[in-house]
Amino acid sequence: MQSTAAATATIANTVNPAREARLAIRRGAHNTHTGGVAPGHVQANMVILPAEYAQEFQTYCMLNPKPCPLLAISDPGDPSLPTLGEDIDVRTDLSGYRVFEDGEEIDVASDITEYWRDDLVAFPLGCSLSFEEALVQHGVPLYHRERGGRPATYVTNIETTPAGRFHGRIVVSMRAMSPADAIRAVQITTRFPSVHGAPVHIGHPEAIGIEDLDYQQFGGSPPQMRQYDIPVFWACGVTPQIVVETVKPSFCITHLAGRMLVTDLKNTELAIL
């Protein structure tokens, strides 16, 4: 580890900040959220399941691309994800994991090497940090970022399309913005289907089963709304976590909230237009 970091540091032109971040996380030097880490690089939510669930979950993601935008899929037992980055090891390269047995959380860990099995399949999923970067770069203010928090998050009454044992309701994140910015936000996020894509709803929270915008089931802060703001709702990567807790697979590992896999991909590479 030591020699690799040194070798990388001496070749300034070829430094890969995403790989640097993964190595820092791997050796415990970075042990918190990954927001703001390796700016411009795609970060991924993570779901890890035994092979017996893999095909069903893959189909579930395919049928529900907005909440579950699959960026890659590992071979069973193989902790690498070569299409997402050099030398990725999904057992060590996230700073926090949740480990579930039969839908119950049995551990929160910063390394899952001890839980690894030769039948586990890793599903890295696109994350809203990517489209938020695009929004900010296009001049759309995000209030929660200005406050240093997370976007407000809600369970909706919108059912995902089930696949095998996987089913559940879409969880959404909400960002309030001016009407003009809401129009821009639809345009900008449409370009990024692999990181949740266009909003799933605008304007009327109650139309998708949200009775109270201030109630934060997942512990975030109530949203800020200014006069004439429109609430804009995107499908959220929390969806598959809730699904896993509902479906209760025999074994499952997910990322811990805010602690994503930092990949070598650039957010700009994900734009389809």
Token pair of 111 as six digits:
């390394």
Looking at beta carbons only, is 236 or 260 nearer to a second copy? 236
Binding window for a second copy (CB under 8 A); candidates: 68-76, 81-89, 113-121, 178-186: 178-186
Looking at beta carbons only, is 90 or 185 nearer to a second copy? 185
Which residues 217-246 are close enough to bind a second copy by CB under 8 A? 227-228, 230
Nearest distance from C-beta of residue 18 to a second copy, angstroms = 30
What mask of x and - would describe binding to a second copy in positions 97 to 136, judged by CB under 8 A? ----------------------------------------
Nearest distance from C-beta of residue 70 to a second copy, angstroms = 22
Nearest distance from C-beta of residue 201 to a second copy, angstroms = 5
Which residues 75-94 are close enough to bind a second copy by CB under 8 A? none
How far is residue 114's CA from residue 222's CA, in Å, rounded to a whole number?
38
36-39's contacts with Cβ under 8 Å and 24+ in sequence apart are: 37/262, 38/262, 39/133
Q: What are phi and psi of 127, to 5 degrees?
A: -135, 150
Nearest distance from C-beta of residue 43 to a second copy, angstroms = 25
DSSP bridge partners of 108: 98
3-state DSSP assignment of residue 130: helix
Which positions ≥6 away from 95 have C-beta within 8 Å?
Answer: 25, 30, 31, 32, 33, 34, 110, 256, 259
Q: Which of 9, 106, 108, 186 lies at the binding interface for a second copy (CB under 8 A)?
A: 186
Q: Which of 55, 157, 187, 217 lies at the binding interface for a second copy (CB under 8 A)?
A: 187
Residues in the chain: 273
Binding window for a second copy (CB under 8 A); candidates: 2-10, 63-71, 125-133, 184-192: 184-192
Residue 230's nearest CA partner among 190, 176, 174 is: 176
Is residue 270 a contact point for a second copy (CB under 8 A)?
no
Is residue 179 a contact point for a second copy (CB under 8 A)?
yes
DSSP string for residues in 42-82:
EEEEEEEEEHHHHHHHHHHHHH-TTT--B---PPTT----T
Q: Say how many residues touch a second copy, by CB under 8 A.
A: 20
Is residue 204 a contact point for a second copy (CB under 8 A)?
yes
How far is residue 248's CA from residue 252's CA, in Å, rounded to a whole number?
8
How far is residue 241's CA from residue 209's CA, in Å, rounded to a whole number?
19
Is residue 29 a contact point for a second copy (CB under 8 A)?
no
Q: What is the contact surface with a second copy in residues (CB under 8 A)?
A: 179-180, 182-183, 186-187, 190, 198-204, 206-207, 227-228, 230, 273
